[in-house]
Amino acid sequence: MSKPYVLGIDIGGTNTVFGIVDARGQVVASDSIKTRKHSNFDDYIAELHSEVSRLLKSYDAENQIQGIGIGAPNANYYTGEIQNAPNLPWGNGILPIAEMVSKAFNGVPVAVTNDANAAALGEMTYGAARGMKDFIMITLGTGVGSGIVVNGQLVYGHDGFAGELGHVIMKRNNGRVCGCGRTGCLEAYCSATGVARTAREFLEIRTDPSTLRNINIEDITSKDVYDAAVAGDKLAKEIFEYTGNILGEAFADMVAFSSPQAIILFGGLAKSGDLLLRPLREKFEQSLFPIFRGKTKILLSELKESDAAVLGASALGWEAKFRYEVPGASFNAAQAAPTVSVPATVAPADEA
């Protein structure tokens, strides 16, 4: 029998990365297309299908894909749709991506979820959360995302949108305006852009010297703050302290919710090392409800950043349920032929 693979697709605001992944979590082949090349979603799916098919063919794996997992902003696991994703180029509507991808791939089962949930699945299947049944994945990038695993299962909530921990409120008075339209969200402080905002605030309010003052204040990035802190700049270090403190307090509240074995950090800011982790862990322990102290680890992702998104999405592929129904022919990977044209109905497939 031929070796089984899944396909992982990570749809980001700029690039769509896809990879063929084996059962041991090896990305055996991968490639990408530009997400914004087509303003028409059908054209995008057609190019994605054509490029993925090319990759599958080059790897001689055309008939061995058991399922397709897709991570995308605002993707809803239950409905198989991308719903109102402002950072994608296809407008503010409903995109039935699971149905369309399954159709393009002739009925291969598809599952979708948002990028942070995909990261959590990847970590659980292949990374730092292997063997854990209760953990929280926090992605510290341009925004703050989260994927929550309880009892070995991703928490989707009743509507498919659970796990928006970047938008718990950390400052209830005079909080920063957040991209979501409210004020005081964790994301407004502890994302990469939040760190840059903290830098601007500190530089404006305070008068102590800092090498950050050599940069045009509007252009400062979290990377600049990191570089300055590594070089010993006191103010830059305090920015990480401030960021770590807020994360530590936020994480303590998360533990009161689901008492996870670990909170796992992923994304650019997570690579700041002890600059962020020391204050974070200290504040976290201090802030915990007493019965939780000393129990929950703060860990870093163990997935290679370049692979993580695809691996995470692919992990979903093994349990994909949504598929385009080919009348008179139940799905069989080995029989799949890419040219069959069938009417548009989608049904959750039976349990594999």
CB of 6 to its own copies, least distance (A): 23
What is the smallest separation between the CB atom of 257 and its own copies, expressed in angstroms?
5
Interacting residue with its own copies among 57, 133, 200, 234 (CB under 8 A): 133
CA 114/CA 84 separation, integer angstroms: 12
The mark string for 161-180 relative to its own copies (x by CB under 8 A, - otherwise) is xxxxx-xxxxxx-------x
Among 26, 259, 298, 338, binds its own copies (CB under 8 A): 259
What distance in Å separates the CA atoms of residue 63 and residue 146, rounded to the nearest whole number?
A: 34
Q: Which CB atom, from 55 or from 288, has the smaller least distance to its own copies?
A: 288
Contact between residue 154 and residue 162 where contact means Cβ atoms under 8 Å apart: no
Chain centroid to CA 236: how far?
27
Q: Is 254 near its own copies (CB under 8 A)?
A: yes
91 lies in the site for its own copies, by CB under 8 A:
no
Radius of gyration of the chain (CA): 21
User: Residues in contact with its own copies, total (CB under 8 A)?
Assistant: 47
What is the footprint of its own copies within residues 225-244 (CB under 8 A)? none
Residue 89 to residue 91: CA distance in whole angstroms:
6
Reported in sequence order, the residue ranges of the chain that DSSP labels E, i.e. its strands, are 5-11, 15-22, 27-34, 65-71, 75-76, 81-83, 94-95, 110-113, 135-140, 144-150, 153-154, 262-266, 297-300, 322-324, 346-348
Q: Binding of its own copies at residue 130 (CB under 8 A)?
A: no
Closer residue to its own copies, CB minimum distance, 162 or 215: 162
Look at phi and psi of residue 154 and say left if phi exceeds 0, alpha if psi is from -120 to 50, else beta: beta
Identify which of residues 29 and 169 has a Cβ nearer to its own copies in the complex.
169
Residue pair 296/261 in contact (Cβ under 8 Å)? The answer is yes
Least distance between its own copies and beta carbon 159 (Å): 6
According to the binding rule CB under 8 A, does residue 323 interact with its own copies?
no
DSSP E strand stretches across 242-311 = 262-266, 297-300
Helices (H) and strands (E) in the chain, counts: 9, 15
Nearer to its own copies, 232 or 290 (CB): 290
From 39, 40, 153, 335, residue interacting with its own copies (rule: CB under 8 A): 153
b/e burial code for range 164-196 (CB count within 10 A of at least 16 → b)? bbbbbebeeeeebebeeeeebbbbbbbbbbbbb
The smaller minimum CB distance to its own copies, of residues 246 and 270, is found at: 246
Of 16, 125, 261, 272, which lies in the binding site for its own copies, with binding defined by CB under 8 A?
261
Given the complex with its own copies, which of 109 and 260 has the nearer CB atom?
Answer: 260
Whole-angstrom CA distances from 112 to 118, 134, 319 are 9, 21, 11
Indicate which single residue of 287, 309, 323, 324 sits in contact with its own copies (rule: CB under 8 A).
287
**Site map for its own copies, 53-82, x if CB under 8 A?**
---------------------x--------
Stretch that binds its own copies, among 131-139, 274-282, 316-324, 329-337 (CB under 8 A): 131-139
Residue 120 amino acid letter:
A
Query: Rule CB under 8 A: which residues touch its own copies?
Result: 74, 83-84, 132-134, 148, 150-151, 153, 155-165, 167-172, 180-182, 249, 252-254, 256-261, 287, 289-292, 295-296
